[in-house]
Structures are given as C-alpha cells and as structure tokens.
Structure 1
Amino acid sequence: MGGLFQIKRGHPAPIFTITTLGCKVNQYESDAIAQQLKNSGCDSAHHKEKADLCIINTCTVTQKASMQSRQAVRQVIRSNPGARIIVTGCYAQTEPDEIKKIDGIHHIIGHGDKLKIPDIALSKGKGPYPTLTRQNILSEHDFKQIPETVFGNRTRPFLKIQDGCDTFCTYCIVPYARGRSRSMPLENVLENIKQLKQAGYHEVVLTGVHLGAYGLDLSPKTGLTELLNRIFESNPIGRVRLSSIEPHELTDDLIQLVAKADIFCHHFHIPLQSGDDLILKKMHRPYPRSLFRHQITKINELLPDAAIGVDTLIGFPGETEKAFENTYSLIHELPVTYLHVFPFSSRKGTPASRYPHQIDSKTIKARCEKMRSLGHAKKMDFYKKFTGKKVEILIEGKRNRSTGLLKGITSNYIPVHVNGDDNIKNTLARVRIDKVKSDNNVFGALY
C-alpha cells in the first residue's frame, strides 16, 4: 500500500475498523464505507484486533454528542498505534477546527465527501496532517450513494432513502451538518429493496434525516406515501419498517396505507418534542399539539396493535412548569407505547442557544425522570396486552451473552426473547408471548 500503512504481520490486506456514533443514517453510511473497503481488498478487524485504518463516524446533534465524538477519536488513537485515522460525520462537517486539536488524526472528511473515504484511506499519504476534505454542505443538491446495495451485518438492514433537512428547528444543528433535503430516486429505492430480499433479508428499515420530506426534491416531485404505494404494489420484501416521521407528515393517507398493507410494520416513531403550542412555535415546529393528538388517535383507531414511539425534548428555553405539564399530560392521555426523552442542551450555532429563560440542569433532570417513568409504564402496559398471544418475530443473528437466548422483533416492535437452535437465526418464527418482567424484558416460546 505504501504511505502510512504498516500492515499487521500475517495479514495480506489492510485491516480496518469503523466506530459509529449517532443515528441510523450514520450507521447506514458506515456500512456503505465498510462495503467499499472490503470491495477494495481490506479486511474488517476482529474483536479487539489492532487495525491499520480507523474511521470514526461522528455525531454532533448535542454538545454531549460532540464530546462523546472527541472521546471516541482519542480512544481509537490510543488503541491502534500507527494506524491511519480518519474522522468523518456530522462533527467533522461542523467543527473541523475542534477535531484538528486532537493529535494523531490524518484526515478529516465532511459529509459531501464520505464516498471518497476508501480512495483517501488507501492512497499514499503526503501530509501535512491532518488533511481536510470538506464542502459547503448547504450547496449540495444531489443524493449521493454507492452504486450497489448496502448489506451491512444486521438482520434488519437500514436503507437510507433521504438525507438533509429544510426545517431548521431552532435547537437543531443537523441542517448545517447534513445540508438540504435530498432523496434517492424512487426506482433506486425499489431496486435496493429487491436486492436485499434476493440476499435473504426479510425486513428493511427505511431511514433518512427527514424521512417525511422524501421525494419533494425529485423531478417529477413525489412523496413518501407515493413511494410506499409503489412498494406495496411491487411487494419486494417481507416487511418494511419506517423510521421517524414528523407529526405533520404522518398523513391520514399514509396511516390508512400502513393499515391495509401487511408489508408495512405496525410501528410508528414520531418526534413530537413538545406538547405545548408556545414552545412548539419557539422551536419552529410546524404543527400544533392538536394535530399530534389527531394522528395518534387515528393510528389507534385503524391499528390498535401498533407501537407508537415518541421523541420529547425537555427543558427548552422558556419551558415553564405549565408547558412541561402540557407535554406530560398529552403523552399520558394518548396510546403512546414508548418514549425517547432528550434533555435540552444548548447547542452552539443554533438560535435556541441564544434564547433567554434557559432552564437549569436540576429542573431539566427532574422533568426528564418524570417523563421517562411515564414512558416505562406505558411500554409495560403495551407489552402486557400481548401476554398469551401468538405473534411473528424476526430472529436476530446473535444470542444474548448473559442468557444465551435468541431475540426477535415483532412487526409492532416488541423484542421477544426465546430459546431455539441457531438454524432459526435471521428467519421469521411464530412464538407465544409468555411473560413481561418488571424491566420490560419480554419472554416467549416457539410453537
């Protein structure tokens, strides 16, 4: 290879590792980079094996995520002396100067150039280091993808069909890290799903930074519901799961389509953020709490077995006790299944970081604990409704290390632990749900 690589003894090809922080989109992109590297003759490192090439795919959605990204970079450098170090992802896009302060990095690569990582990684290094490859992501108009289906090593692979966001919520750095909304052409989506089925997969998870904006940038313009109709008509795979969809983009037509088509998992994830109309306006969220209530009620009417996950952002500047209670009571009253509770943290570069009436950390922590307790109770109530019922699960490829049991996921996102032989890994199986423990672990038996 030349350059910086010092190939480990006994290995004919460079060994690489990829450390991924953050969202499903980042995970998909790490899988794509890994696939490109393997196609170029590289091998992925085995457990705790030292690597020649280390890639850290970072996150910067919060200040804590940025800190964790820096920690991950330093840890990888310490654990792999002599390796070529590449830092990419959202933190690399927004804060390259901060990354440059860390000794031992060779390349910093922004989102617009992620697909160049294998070429940069395998080229002869000239220095000086670190080199910076980064574009103005807001001027990016094309959806970039590798020219083949990304498989990864998951039982339920992700398929990124959209990138970027045009909403510019006042607390969010993502549009500055990911750029404007861009979509994979519809026919390419269908072909990717078809290829996944041919490779033996039973489920695909459609993901994006702003999934509900899918297709609005394409010519001719289309939309997420139109895509799902085409998927329904072509029936390319056993199950299709949707990742997060904004409340105002979770239309009645989309809900009705999921209800009538068995191919779509009965699982919705909705980023509400706040249940207070004034806070929603300050966040620049384009919907009122009444719309969220309508959509949750609609889902429950048409799909009473559906799992409904909700994101909440607690402690936004100006969130009074009354505003928090508006969020809490809205969630409490509705058939929500589980919660992802995020504490607000002031993110440099966003309007909300400059807003008055910042909430103290003690108050935010107490409100988050109350909301998480509600989420735990709702999840348990939902799981217990299925005790004694027979369901279909997709068995994952790994056993639980402590129990030795297999785990499978239902269409409505219940993780069920079962005993079984290895030959049922990565297959669909019928089970009976027997019990739900106090920690919300669900156990069942094959039948």
Structure 2
Amino acid sequence: MTQLFSTKQPKTAKPSFPTLRGTTVNARKIVDSKSAKAYRVRHILLQTEELADQLLSNFRGGDMLFTEVAAQMSDCTLTKEKGGEVGWVDFATASDPEHHLDGLLPKNVREALVPGQGTDAKTGDVLKIESHRGVHLIQLADIMVDVRERGKKRFRAEGNNWRTAVDPSNSGKQLYYSVETMGCQMNSADSERISGQLESMNILPLDEKDEKKAQPDVVVINTCSIRDHAEQKVYSYIGPHAKRKRDGESVSIIVAGCVAEQEGEQLLRRCPEVDLVMGPQYANRIADLLEDVGNGNQVVATAPEYIVEDITKPKRDSTTCAWVNIIYGCNERCAFCIVPSTRGIEQSRTAESVIKECEELVKEGYKEITLLGQNIDAYGRDLSPKRKFSDLLNMIGAIEGLERVRFVTSHPRYMSDSVVDAVASNPSLCNSFHIPFQSGNDKVLREMGRGHTVAKYLSIVERIRNQIPDASITADVIVGFPGETEEEFLDTLKLMETVKFDSVNTAVYSPRPNTPAAEWTNQLDEETKSDRLQRINRLNLQHAGERRARMIGRTEKVLVEGRNVKKPNQVYGRTEHGYLVYFDGTIDELLGAIVDVKLLESSTYSLTGEIVGRGE
C-alpha cells in the first residue's frame, strides 16, 4: 500500500519530508465507489487507433480544447455539434445493457469509468477506450459526489437545546448570513463560492447598516492556518456567536477553511457550539452539508475530496475584478508549510471549464481576472494527458474583451520559460509576477525542501527582466527558519538587493502542526527572529518605494476599482504592474473604466496622479 505521508517526524534539525516529493501523491485515489456517483463525460469517436493516439499527443503538447476537436473531428453525429457532450454516466447503472446511453457509449466503455473496476482516472483526464463503434476518446469533465457520505455526523448531546438557524422550524423565516474571511486569495475565492451557495438557499447577506437585523443567523468563519496568530483569531471570532447560541438564539456557526481541515473534530470538542466544520475542498458544497446540520447533527467534513465544478455561481465581491481557480491543492512538501495537509493534493480543472468561466465573466462586464493556484505553474501535470500552464495562459489571453489577466502563485521549481514568453507576447497578460523565494541561501532552501536554488531563482528573474524590462516582481520570504545563521540571513538580504522587488510579503517562521520543521530542535529564539524581520522590512520598504518612485512623470493605464474611503472625491485603481494609484474622479462614472493617469507623486506602496484621458 502506498503511503501519502509518513506519520512520524524525527525530532532533529536534519530536514525530513512527509513524502518523497510528489512520488506517492495521486488525486485519482480520492474517488471511492461509496461517495462518487457519476462522471459527466464528453467523447470523440474515431475509426482508427492511430488517429486517437495522435490526438492524445496533441492534447499533451498544445493548446487544443477537447470540445473544439470534438466539433471538428468526431464521427459521432449525435454529439459532434455539442462539442462531444454526452452527459452523466451513473456508476450504479453502468453495466445495465438497457442503459439509455448504450447507443453512444457501449457497456464496456461505461464500465471502464467506474472507480475500482475500470481505469484509474480523475476529472480532466482523457481516456482511450475501444468499442464496437470505434475508438473513443473520453474526457471526464466533472464528477458527481455525495458529500454527505464523506462527512462525519454526530447528534447533539442529549439535553442540549442549542438551536441552529437552518433548523426546519425556521423555514418560514428570512435568514441572513455573514462571512469572515482570513488569509490568502484562495480563501477569498472560497468565500465567494460559499456566499453563492448560501444565497442559492435564499439566505441573504447581512446588511450591517440595518439596525433591525444587527446579528447574522448563519455565521461563516473562513479560516487560515498559515501562521499561528491567524489560527488563534478563529476562536476569538467564534466566542461572541457561541455565547448567542448559549443564550438561546437560533444561530448556525460554520468554521471553514484551513484551520477547519487541520483541527477537524478537535474544533468541536473545543467549541461545541459549532454546527459545521468543513475543509476548503467543500467550499462549493456547503448547501448539502447544511442539510445534515438542519436535521440536528454536528458535521465534520474534512475527508479528501474531488473538487467538483460549482453548481451555483459565486457571489463576487467586485464587479470589476474576479478570482478564477484553475488548480486546487499542492503536492509539494515544504518543511514549513501546512498547505498540503489543509488544502489537499493538486487537482487541476479542465481547460474547458476555466475558459468557460472566464468567458462568462467577460460577458458580465469583468475587466480583470486573476488565476489562482497554490502552485499555479503545476497546472495540468496531474491530468492525463498532461497540460501546460503556458498553454492555458495563451488561451485565456486570447478571450475577446478580457482586458487583464494576472496569476498567483508561481513556484521557482516549476515556473517555465514558456510562461514568461506567454506574458511577453500577449498584451492581455499583465507584466506582473509573484514568485516566492523564501530564502536567499541554498542550504536553507534545501532544508525548507523548496526544490530550487538561488541561481535558479535569479535565472527566472533574468529572463523576465530581459524580455519584459518594466515588469513588476513580488515575492514571499521567511526569516528565522530553524537553524538559519546570521550569514544565511544576510544572503537573503543580498538576494533582495540584487533583484530589488516591487514588494515582498515578509514573515517570521512560525511552527505549524504536522510539518517537519516544527519538530526540529534548532528553533531560533523570538528576539533573533524579530530583529531579522525588522531588518528585512526596512529593506523591503526601501525597494518598494524606489520601484514606485521610478514611475513619477509616466502616464499609465489604470483600471478603476473603487472609491478612496479616506477621500471620497478620489478613486483608486491599479496599473498592470499591480501598483495602487489614487486620483480625483467620480466613482459612478469611472468604476470599471481603464483610464490614462499621469503619475505625480509616490509613497512606499502607492502613487497619486491625475487623469489625462480615457483608455481604449
């Protein structure tokens, strides 16, 4: 049996990792016949195996979409005009000779899709299967999963009269929700999906200005565990709502995100007032889980799960800029990072689903899209055939009407020259890169398990600066990693002097549970870590100010995103570099517009200017 990770971590300064980096991580093992019910499939019918093999090779090496190839080359007249769309193949009836899809997908093809009986596969994969009709290329476009089978349920303790707002007795009452979001952009995107699900249940967002309804009925705390202090904030947010429930109010308390995945049932033991604990992989299935909560259960949903396509639309926080997830989870095992154990293993969405979402956003009037992934350059490596992130970038950059595309977060180990080439050649792709380096010393990088060297990192920067001299480069860094010497820390400052980043997210190393480095005996004292953080922050502020000061006198295109709350006569937006710019203007006229702004003054992290014209 293959282990996903070792359960024992040696208490030593010597680096040790839960897996041999990526070799035993397999998203295909998540599916089981109990919770997985059906695949939604597309197919291309061909008459020769040679042509099928050629197309598989083309999918691997280019920017071809399955739906487009199906429309051009499939011999199936029933599905060709629909881009090969077949529909759902129910695993329970796959062997039925009278199956309604038998004329499209013969029995042996359907049986090959059943988990545990046919080919190991996951959403996004393209399979080659022969039948009496010919050779089928089958794309697994989506999966139907009964998440209620995956969650652990337990009835409230006997005699406990705490009420949950989603109890059926409240069915005639208008309920209101609030979402508290902590952490990264991925959490922000998850909160938008959670909000969309709640509103599909006719639970409305709480208007904090409405004095008649001062408190939400459904409270969602979407948590982050990347740092210890962020984790501790969770319990302070739960406290007031737990008291409301103990005082007899009808309240549903939901803890989502990374702390939820990390703590699981332990969180219910510490805070028994909580109704639902769910990991980030369940963000778009909260409605299903709340059914069990409404039936009087406490629910813990933290089991590994396939990320299915959203069944409802997210409630976007902006009308101008939108997040689009393209890959979930992470297969890396950095010694300091808890993300792989809280967000799960890598699962890429199909290119078709990503592009469809982007096209719909453009139709709704969105001007800018940020593609999200914990390790975005790994996009497509978990698919079969494999796909490349640069190919997806080129396809998205070609969407008509999409003004700007950004992406985060890149990993130096996987970032390819073709990604830089795509940004350099496509005007829709912003000249902005976020590439964490974490340390400027090779020994520390090895102990962190980063899989790249300082030289590798600098070669990426050199390619960017050679091809796109004006591009902005931002990063993340950790100081005070176990065993880091003063000389090794100075190497980090040296790297920052060499690159001169536009900004760096700086952090002191914080031991996280279930990570190797947390168990090492060579932890640094807090005084040393604090001193290094102050020194690196001073350098970061200096470089950020210098990079923005170079813009004074230039005219840049700025996408207007909102009103300056401190100066209502001003609006703000960003240049394609990601720089924040303030200038006089009326938000009702300018929101979502791209305007030409002459930059007049700079501060550490922003610029001010004046409009000199409207962009095209």
For residues 399-410 of structure 1, the aligned pairs below 5 Å read 399-402=564-567, 404-410=569-575
Q: Residue in 1 aligned with 2:261? A: 93
1:441 deviates by: 3.3
1:151 deviates by: 5.1
The number of equivalent residue pairs is: 438
Q: Residue in 2 aligned with 1:433? A: 599
Deviation per CA, 1:9-53: give whole Å up to 9, x if none: 9x9621111111111111111101111221222210112631111
Deviation per CA, 1:66-115: give whole Å up to 9, x if none: 11222222245457853211111111111124422124211212334333
CA contact (8 A) 1:113 1:133 kept: yes
1:316 pairs with 2:481: yes
Q: Residue in 1 aligned with 2:469? A: 304
Give the Cα–Cα distance (whole angstroms) in 2 for the partners of residues 310 and 112 of structure 1.
26
Give the Cα–Cα distance (whole angstroms) in 2 for the partners of residues 188 and 64 of structure 1.
36
1:305 deviates by: 1.5
For residues 126-145 of structure 1, the aligned pairs below 5 Å read 126-127=295-296, 130-135=298-303, 137=304, 140=305, 142-145=306-309
Output the amino acid matched with 1:93.
E
Could you say if the C-alpha distance between residues 13 and 252 of structure 1 is closer, same or farther in structure 2, counting changes exceeding 3 Å?
same
1:83 pairs with 2:251: yes
Q: Residue in 1 aligned with 2:14? A: none
1:27 pairs with 2:188: yes
Could you say if the C-alpha distance between residues 236 and 151 of structure 1 is closer, same or farther in structure 2, counting changes exceeding 3 Å?
farther
Q: Residue in 2 aligned with 1:150? A: 314
CA contact (8 A) 2:165 2:218 kept: no
1:402 deviates by: 4.9
Give the Cα–Cα distance (whole angstroms) in 1 for the partners of residues 351 and 313 of structure 2.
14
1:220 deviates by: 2.0
Could you say if the C-alpha distance between residues 329 and 6 of structure 1 is closer, same or farther in structure 2, counting changes exceeding 3 Å?
same
Counterpart of 1:114 (choices 283, 299, 306) is: 283
Give the Cα–Cα distance (whole angstroms) in 2 for the partners of residues 107 and 63 of structure 1.
22
1:46 pairs with 2:211: no
Where does the alignment leave 5 or more consecutive residues of structure 2 unmatched? Answer: 1-162
Give the Cα–Cα distance (whole angstroms) in 1 for the partners of residues 164 and 580 of structure 2.
47
SS of equivalent to 1:248: coil
Could you say if the C-alpha distance between residues 76 and 258 of structure 1 is closer, same or farther in structure 2, counting changes exceeding 3 Å?
farther
Give the Cα–Cα distance (whole angstroms) in 2 for the partners of residues 283 and 202 of structure 1.
38
Deviation per CA, 1:390-422: give whole Å up to 9, x if none: 111111134323554211111001100011112
Q: Residue in 1 aligned with 2:340? A: 175
SS of equivalent to 1:41: coil
1:6 deviates by: 8.5
Output the amino acid matched with 2:592.
N
Of stretches 148-157 and 426-435 in structure 1, the one that deviates more from structure 2 is 148-157
Of stretches 233-242 and 280-289 in structure 1, the one that deviates more from structure 2 is 233-242
Q: Residue in 2 aligned with 1:337? A: 502
CA contact (8 A) 2:579 2:606 kept: no
Q: Residue in 1 aligned with 2:12? A: none
Q: Residue in 1 aligned with 2:38? A: none
Deviation per CA, 1:350-402: give whole Å up to 9, x if none: 10011232111111111111111111111111111110111111111343235
CA contact (8 A) 2:279 2:343 kept: no
Of stretches 313-322 and 228-237 in structure 1, the one that deviates more from structure 2 is 228-237
Q: Residue in 1 aligned with 2:197? A: 36
CA contact (8 A) 2:164 2:251 kept: no
Give the Cα–Cα distance (whole angstroms) in 2 for the partners of residues 72 and 404 of structure 1.
34
Q: Residue in 2 aligned with 1:13? A: 174
SS of equivalent to 1:430: strand
1:122 deviates by: 5.6
Q: Residue in 2 aligned with 1:199? A: 364
Give the Cα–Cα distance (whole angstroms) in 1 for the partners of residues 223 and 491 of structure 2.
34
Where does the alignment leave 5 or more consecutive residues of structure 1 unmatched? Answer: none
Across the aligned residues of Structure 1 and Structure 2, the Cα RMSD in angstroms comes to 2.2
SS of equivalent to 2:294: coil
1:238 pairs with 2:403: yes
Output the amino acid matched with 2:255.
V
1:244 deviates by: 1.5
1:217 pairs with 2:382: yes
CA contact (8 A) 2:167 2:293 kept: no
Q: Residue in 1 aligned with 2:135? A: none
CA contact (8 A) 2:253 2:273 kept: yes
Give the Cα–Cα distance (whole angstroms) in 2 for the partners of residues 207 and 78 of structure 1.
36
Output the amino acid matched with 1:427.
A
CA contact (8 A) 2:433 2:473 kept: yes
1:306 deviates by: 1.1
Greater RCO, CA 8 A, separation 6+: 2
CA contact (8 A) 1:149 1:195 kept: no
Q: Residue in 2 aligned with 1:102? A: 271
CA contact (8 A) 2:289 2:299 kept: no
1:57 pairs with 2:222: yes
CA contact (8 A) 2:181 2:223 kept: yes
Using the aligned pairs only, state the percent identity. Answer: 26
Output the amino acid matched with 2:274.
I
Deviation per CA, 1:169-205: give whole Å up to 9, x if none: 1111111111110011001111111011000010000
Give the Cα–Cα distance (whole angstroms) in 1 for the partners of residues 244 and 182 of structure 2.
17
Deviation per CA, 1:103-162: give whole Å up to 9, x if none: 42112123343333123336663435x432331x2xx4x332313553502231111111
For residues 273-422 of structure 1, the aligned pairs below 5 Å read 273-402=438-567, 404-421=569-586, 422=588
What's the TM-score once normalised by structure 1's chain length? Answer: 0.92
